[in-house]
């Protein structure tokens, strides 16, 4: 795992030291080694920071130049099937004079032999890379299928820039770093800036499963090319979804074993995040079955029972026999992370589980350099509550007359949060719904919609009309606005899962995991997103994903082969922190300063009036606006941190 960056500026006089400064900004992504390749005649620089995982020798040093001298590569990630690729290359291309056993050398050889498209189609891994072709005078940028590794690129002034994180780009002396108000509007809707936009004008995220060509000194930026089309995979897989349940359980078990086994490849210590939920427990269980010693597992505990899963993780660890480490953190320790968030996440980002994700990464890094994560199971196997409750309510209520739905919406929208919480605590576990007080207002807001796609977009939105909050903004359309471009799937539930795999998963979940882990120089691997598992999941009938009122049915059946059912069955719990209460308590002064009406008006990014109304209603307990307010606060904190470079 590493960090990459670089620039192409043939018409300006820039020393190679600029590339060193850019790479230094992302030193946490690669503290073990660094390198710069610079061609003064071209004004082209490629820079690299290395976190040594496979082949710790200098044979894995980057930038790496091909033996023929035509290609130069900087690369971030892991190619899990690189040994198989070496064998295939040797069979097709004859003898290779390998200098070491790094996957970087394998990737470079694959790109030389098969070309960019042919190599990408063969890779099983997480990656982002830049490849310079000196003969064609072309720079290629590419990103992995599901978007596990980030890659930003674009022009700022007369310079083309790219890098793993925005902070590397802004270190370049010619980077202008002007906030894109349209992207800010998208951020308020999604609590992150979705691909292909970034918070800065002219700078973009390369979408997952795409590569792009850059020519003519960085002035000619091609249209990104998709090399693995998730829409086609979903449509073709779903159209043929059928099969025997027992056979599919066996196939999923085998695929999981192989995907997890491949991700245990490392020349450094490794372990796993363990929350005690189905996904992380599956990963830990199948790691333990393939290890001849107790694997290391890590979990974070909170003293607030509503947010604590540590006891469940401990019970799972005891059953599996892992070498388990847990850390209970105080509210003060948790809140101490907040000032670090703008640097860690590098772009406005407001998923509050960013805090515990960083804490568990920090805990794991004390003992290991690689940690496997269970992310992706919800999106692949129908695990989120919205796939159940939201879908069912839509199906039942969409036929009601509009006036009746509007009346019901009003009732739900004004149900006092504290009353709902009190009711929840009195219910038996089987009737409890996680975060009911936050879910009901969301459902209330979408009852007036007539089609499923509009319903879902509204359901997952934070600010519903962000253009009203950001003066001068015009919110760009995303895939959520184009139902005609969606693959042909059998129903709304399948469309929800597809849309989340295209948007929420790479833009929120994987961004959160990458930035939190890389901030402490920890490599996080996500075996459930092996592309073979993704393709398999779309061939699984929905009846084997959502069954008897439960999501992830098929995944559960695999897990029950390794962990007793009674150890796992409990209400789903999110990985969050009590932001709602903190904003009324210990974070109130901090929030008040950032949300000061005069400050908001002077900075000019937000319309103060609706924000101040939300803040007053939240503080007094009239309404629960913490998710919306956290979006604003994370932007304000980010702006406060980076203002010197804007």
From residue 590, alpha-carbon distances to 339, 398, 616 in Å are 11, 42, 15
Catalytic residue among 2, 175, 192, 382: 2
How is residue 568 written in tokens? 């796992």
| 374 labeled part of a ligand binding site | yes
Phi and psi at 6, nearest 5°, equal: 170, 180
CA neighbours within 13 Å on the CB side: how many for 476?
A: 16
Return the sign of the alpha-carbon dihedral for residues 162, 165, 167, 171.
Answer: negative
Residues contacting residue 149 through CB under 8 Å, at least 6 positions apart:
76, 77, 126, 127, 128, 143, 164, 514
With residue 190 as reference, give the H or E element that holds it.
Answer: helix 181-190
Phi and psi at 297, nearest 5°, equal: -125, 155
From residue 611, alpha-carbon distances to 157, 298, 341 in Å are 34, 38, 22
| 507 labeled part of a ligand binding site | no
- How far apart (Å, rounded) are the C-alpha atoms in residues 383 and 547? 11
DSSP secondary-structure letter at 79?
E
Strands (E), 485-522: none
2 has catalytic annotation = yes
Paired sense of beta strands 152-156 and 159-163, if any: antiparallel
- How far apart (Å, rounded) are the C-alpha atoms in residues 149 and 273? 18
Residues contacting residue 279 through CB under 8 Å, at least 6 positions apart:
374, 375, 376, 377, 378, 383, 528, 555
- How far apart (Å, rounded) are the C-alpha atoms in residues 437 and 440? 6
167: nearest Cα among 341, 13, 346: 346
- How far apart (Å, rounded) are the C-alpha atoms in residues 522 and 361? 7
Residues contacting residue 278 through CB under 8 Å, at least 6 positions apart:
374, 377, 383, 552, 555, 556, 559, 568
Helices 230-239 & 492-502, crossing angle to 10 degrees? 150
Paired sense of beta strands 270-273 and 296-302, if any: parallel
Phi and psi at 314, nearest 5°, equal: -65, -40
With residue 425 as reference, give the H or E element that holds it.
Answer: helix 417-426
CB 268 within 8 A of CB 370: yes
| 373 labeled part of a ligand binding site | yes
How is residue 377 written in tokens? 């199971």
Phi and psi at 346, nearest 5°, equal: 70, -10
| 84 labeled part of a ligand binding site | no
- How far apart (Å, rounded) are the C-alpha atoms in residues 461 and 454? 11
With residue 72 as reference, give the H or E element that holds it.
Answer: strand 71-79
For 228, the 3-state DSSP assignment is: coil
Residues contacting residue 290 through CB under 8 Å, at least 6 positions apart:
257, 260, 261, 264
CB 482 within 8 A of CB 456: no
Helices 181-190 & 626-642, crossing angle to 10 degrees? 140
Binding residues: 103, 300, 373-374
Binding residues for L-glutamine: 103
Active site residues per annotation: 2
Binding residues for ATP: 300, 373-374
């Amino acid at each position: 795992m590493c960090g990459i960056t670089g620039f192409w500026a043939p018409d300006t006089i820039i020393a190679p030291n600029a590339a060193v400064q850019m790479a230094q900004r992302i030193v946490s992504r690669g503290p073990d080694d660094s390198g710069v390749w610079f061609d003064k005649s071209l004004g082209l620089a490629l820079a690299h920071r290395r976190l040594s995982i496979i082949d710790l020798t200098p044979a894995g040093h980057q930038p790496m130049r091909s033996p023929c001298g035509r290609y130069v590569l900087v690369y971030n990630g892991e190619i899990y099937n690189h040994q198989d690729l070496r064998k295939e290359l040797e069979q097709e291309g004859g003898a290779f004079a390998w200098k070491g056993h790094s996957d970087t050398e394998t990737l470079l050889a694959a790109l030389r032999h098969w070309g960019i498209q042919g190599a990408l189609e063969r890779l099983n891994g997480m990656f982002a890379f830049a490849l310079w072709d000196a003969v064609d005078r072309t720079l290629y940028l590419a990103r992995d299928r599901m978007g596990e590794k980030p890659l930003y690129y674009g022009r700022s002034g007369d310079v083309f820039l790219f890098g793993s994180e925005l902070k590397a780009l802004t270190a370049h002396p010619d980077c202008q770093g002007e906030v894109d108000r349209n992207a800010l509007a998208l951020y308020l809707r999604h609590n992150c800036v979705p691909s292909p936009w970034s918070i800065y004008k002219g700078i973009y995220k390369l979408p997952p499963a795409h590569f792009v060509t850059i020519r003519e000194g960085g002035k000619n930026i091609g249209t990104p090319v998709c090399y693995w089309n998730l829409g086609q995979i979903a449509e073709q897989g779903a159209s043929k979804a059928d099969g025997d349940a027992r056979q599919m359980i066996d196939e999923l078990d085998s695929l999981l074993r192989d995907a997890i086994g491949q991700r245990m490849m490392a020349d450094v210590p490794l372990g796993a995040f363990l929350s005690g939920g189905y996904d992380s427990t599956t990963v830990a269980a199948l790691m333990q079955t393939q290890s001849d010693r107790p694997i290391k597992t890590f979990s974070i505990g909170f003293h607030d029972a509503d947010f604590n899963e540590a006891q469940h993780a401990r019970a799972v660890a005891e059953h599996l026999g892992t070498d388990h480490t847990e850390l209970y953190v105080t509210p003060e320790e948790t809140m101490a992370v907040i000032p670090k968030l703008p640097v860690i996440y590098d772009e406005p980002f407001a998923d509050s589980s960013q805090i515990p994700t960083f804490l568990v990464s920090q805990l794991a890094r004390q003992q290991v350099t690689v940690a496997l994560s269970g992310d992706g199971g919800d999106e692949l196997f129908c695990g989120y509550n919205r796939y159940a409750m939201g879908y069912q309510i839509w199906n039942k209520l969409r036929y009601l007359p509009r006036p009746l739905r509007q009346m019901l919406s009003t009732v739900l929208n004004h149900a006092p949060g504290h009353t709902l919480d009190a009711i929840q605590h009195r219910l038996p576990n089987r009737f409890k719904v996680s975060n009911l007080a936050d879910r009901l207002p969301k459902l209330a807001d979408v009852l007036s919609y007539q089609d499923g796609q509009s319903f879902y977009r509204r359901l997952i939105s934070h600010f519903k009309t962000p253009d009203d909050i950001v003066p001068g903004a015009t919110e760009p359309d995303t895939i959520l606005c184009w139902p005609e471009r969606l693959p042909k799937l059998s129903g709304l539930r399948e469309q929800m899962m597809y849309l989340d795999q295209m948007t929420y998963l790479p833009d929120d979940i994987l961004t959160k995991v990458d930035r939190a882990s890389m901030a402490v120089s920890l490599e996080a691997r996500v075996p459930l997103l092996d592309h073979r598992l993704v393709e398999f999941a779309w061939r699984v009938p929905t009846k084997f994903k959502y069954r008897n009122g439960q999501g992830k049915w098929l995944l559960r059946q695999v897990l029950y082969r390794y962990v007793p059912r009674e150890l796992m069955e409990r209400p789903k719990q999110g990985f969050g922190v009590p932001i709602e209460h903190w904003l009324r308590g210990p974070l109130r002064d901090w929030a008040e300063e950032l949300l000061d009406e005069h400050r908001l008006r002077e900075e000019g990014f937000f319309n103060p009036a609706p924000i101040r109304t939300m803040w007053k209603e939240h503080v007094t307990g009239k309404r629960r606006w913490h998710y919306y307010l956290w979006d604003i606060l994370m932007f304000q904190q980010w702006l406060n941190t980076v203002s010197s470079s804007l």
